[in-house]
Amino acid sequence: MSTASAARRPKAAARPAVGPRRELEQPHVRRLTLHGHRIAYRQAGSGPALVLIHGITSSSATWQRVMPYLARHFTVIAPDLAGHGDSDKPRGDYSLGAHASSIRDLMLVLGHERASIVGHSLGGGIAMQFAYQFPERCERLALVDTGGLGRDVNVLLRAATLPGAEFVLPLLAATRLLDAGRLAGRLLGALGLRARTDIEEIARGHATLADAEARAAFVHTLRAVVEPGGQRIDASNRLYLSAHIPFLLIWGEHDSVIPVEHGHATHERVPGSRLELFAGSGHFPQLDEPHRFIDVLIDFVESTEPATLDAERWRELLDPH
């Protein structure tokens, strides 16, 4: 199912997003230093910039299936957020605003003043924060099973914000859920996770929490956006600011981490937005249905005009009266 956005450009000539016509560029992990800390990222391709932001306990590796094909059309940049993957995990600020500022700084260091921003899960919240903090740098916004648009979130994440969770997490990580196979499925299934990829990816991320620095970064990041009762951050009251920008929502119909109802509600609130429901996906449509994910994202970018925003237009959006 899809609902097309308004103000679309004429569609480009049909072409397969996935195919053997040209050798694929495999993105490798690169590193640079920002503000005294190492930031790891993957980059590939040429053309307009497309920034891919991963979710909590994940890394840029979550985009590996789709990056080589997207790189045929764009300069694709996928960072490991601070506290994740191969990036440093310092004591410091892990708020959405801090992550958004780091994305901006990485873009500028790599020579890109503007980009289309794609965010998955926590990365969707960062993408929305980026569009809010730096509207002049955001050409398009694509949110994939995103957080920050409603209260509901899986009980596993809510439980991880409870007092003392930082002392329990290393004991759970020591059980090596990722290698436990059937045990991981039963345990995570009991916590409401249904899709196989969701279970595998969350178990994989959970296994990284055996590292003390990664665990501390996880707790700080999660508590910035989630509390025992659900998500703390809700960007719904600022969705009217999205009227100026091409806006895409991608959601797995079987998402058991953040419910698809958040996607439906957001689509109704944002006139001209485009909603793509992935019937065969859970929380990770870029992994469950990578070929369709590639086609949808390429079409979204190629069929819309990049947003341009100056201070006067931003003032009008903030104060329409």
Name the catalytic one among 145, 255, 288, 299: 255
Residue 283 annotated in active site: yes
The DSSP 8-state label assigned to residue 62 in this structure reads G
CA of residue 78 relative to chain centroid, distance: 10
Residues 56 and 131: their CA atoms lie apart, in Å, by: 19
This prediction has a pTM of 0.87
Give the containing element (helix H, strand E) for 101.
helix 96-109
Contacts 24+ apart (CB under 8 A), 313-318: 313/244, 314/135, 317/240, 317/241, 317/243, 317/244, 318/241
DSSP one-letter string for 120-171:
ETHHHHHHHHHHHH-GGGEEEEEEES-SSSSS---HHHHHTTSTTHHHHHHH
pLDDT over threshold 60, residue 274:
yes
Name the catalytic one among 59, 60, 87, 121: 121
Looking at CATH, the fold of the domain delimited by 2-152+233-318 is given as Rossmann fold (3.40.50)
Q: Tell me, what's the pLDDT at 247?
A: 98
Q: pLDDT band at residue 14, thresholds of 50, 70 and 90? A: very low
Q: Are 42 and 65 in contact (CB under 8 A)?
A: no
Name the catalytic one among 87, 267, 283, 288: 283
Residue 255 annotated in active site: yes
What is the mean predicted confidence (pLDDT) over 57-79? 96
Q: Tell me, what's the pLDDT at 314?
A: 76
Integer CA distances (angstroms), 237 to 233, 240, 266, in order: 11, 7, 11
Q: Which of 5-9, 135-139, 193-197, 275-279 has the lowest mean pLDDT?
A: 5-9
Q: Give the orientation angle of helix 122-133 with respect to helix 212-225, to 10 degrees.
A: 60
Mean per-residue pLDDT over the chain, rounded: 85
What is the mean predicted confidence (pLDDT) over 164-169? 67
What is the mean predicted confidence (pLDDT) over 39-63? 96
